[in-house]
Amino acid sequence: MKLLTTLAWRNLWRNKRRTLITISSVLFAVFLAIMFLSMEQGSYERMIDSMVKYSTGYIQIQDVLYDDEPSIDNTMVFDEDIELLLNRYDEEISYYVPRLQNFVLVATENTTRGSMLIGIYPEKEKKLNDMTDDIVEGTYLEPGDDGLLIAEGLANILNAGLGDTLVLLGQGFHGTTAAGLYPITGIVDLKVPEINNNTIYMSLEAAQWFYAADERLTAIIVMPENPKRTNQLAGKISDEIDSEWYNVLTWEEMLEDLLKLMKFDMAGTMVLMIILYIVIAFGLFGTILMMMLERKREFALLFSLGMKRSKLAAICFMESVFITIIGVISGIIVSIPVVAYFYHNPIVLAGDMAEAIGEYGFEPILPFSADPSVFYNQALIVLVLSILIGLYPVYKVFKMRIMDVKS
């Protein structure tokens, strides 16, 4: 076997230019595939991460009616039974974040806009999305604070600044009128345009007073220690909670429409990837075919000298695999530093492209994923292609007739 491997390796370099061109084509194709998939997967990961941090969390406990009718009247009471249940799974739960959120009209002297008012425990909310680094002006909320932390996009729409007073008007619990004047104590950049243009944060105590919903929450966001075990943890909580009053939802259930959109987009990506793999396959096949045509007389001579067809077939097969392995490894080596750079320094979009992406509610950047699967999946796919193509010379070697070879 060692002799056959040595012969296959030496045969590759009998025509260095052809071998290097083939390796380069595989390298370039693998590099493009990795970059394309890394960018797409990075965008999905960033999108999901933003929605989990700023909106849904991984698991939510809600009133059983809230998901179908998200009204302030369908809020839940955070009682001792719920707290004991969450404490029971303390080892599997990293932390939980209570929230009270509802639609509200916010107005300045000349502008009125519908927004989402979210009541939070400032310290617990920090664990979910530490907004302190994104504060543009003012300060972060403090427990029991009567001020507002307003998103930068909404502040610009309202033409309001730090210290200005906003009029809030909404519907409170059981049809009461919720109204009040609140000063802006901080402005925060929430990155995701759709969220950044319509979000206001208030301390949970102030929000409960505003909505006349004492000790009530719209949801408890539960963040597991291991996000990969989200469904298992949600199942355990759901089994023990009173299903007549409470509902337990995972982020996949709450973002079902977004996931469907992502799957549709991935289908389009797979079409492009299939085209790329076809190009790789034809490049490899062209090289192998040329090698077979050039070496017919050589093969006929080896057969007449007594070389077994199985050994020659094995040599030809290894040649195609060697070319592929060198190209794939080179492509991965070249792509790793490029992906690493863009992983830490995402491409920031500007102009019309940024506006177009912002209209869909996504952050206008192109992040890259450094997930190892992005790299080794390409290696496996191209390796399988090379094995399939490598069967062609094996077939030709066994079917070759010495008398048909012209001298």
pLDDT of 360 reads 55
Report the half-sphere exposure of 211 (CA within 13 A, side-chain side): 30
What residue spans define the domains of the chain?
2-51+258-404, 65-242
Do residues 186 and 150 lie in contact, with contact meaning Cβ atoms separated by under 8 Å? yes
Residue 402's pLDDT is: 67
Rounded Cα–Cα distance for residues 191 and 200 (Å): 14
CA dist list (Å): 322 to 283, 285, 319, 329:
15, 14, 5, 11
User: Which tokens hold the place of 199?
Assistant: 């979000």
pLDDT, residue 406, reads 59
3-state secondary structure of 202: strand
221: CB partners within 8 A, 6+ apart: 56, 57, 58, 59, 60, 96, 97, 98, 99, 128
Give CA–CA dist 138/131, Å, rounded.
Answer: 12
Residues of the chain with confidence (pLDDT) below 70? 54, 351-363, 402-407
CA 108: distance to chain centroid? 38
- Give the pLDDT score at 404: 62
Dihedral angle, C-alpha 207, 209, 211, 212, nearest 10 °:
150
Helix 16-51 with 256-294: angle, nearest 10 deg? 180
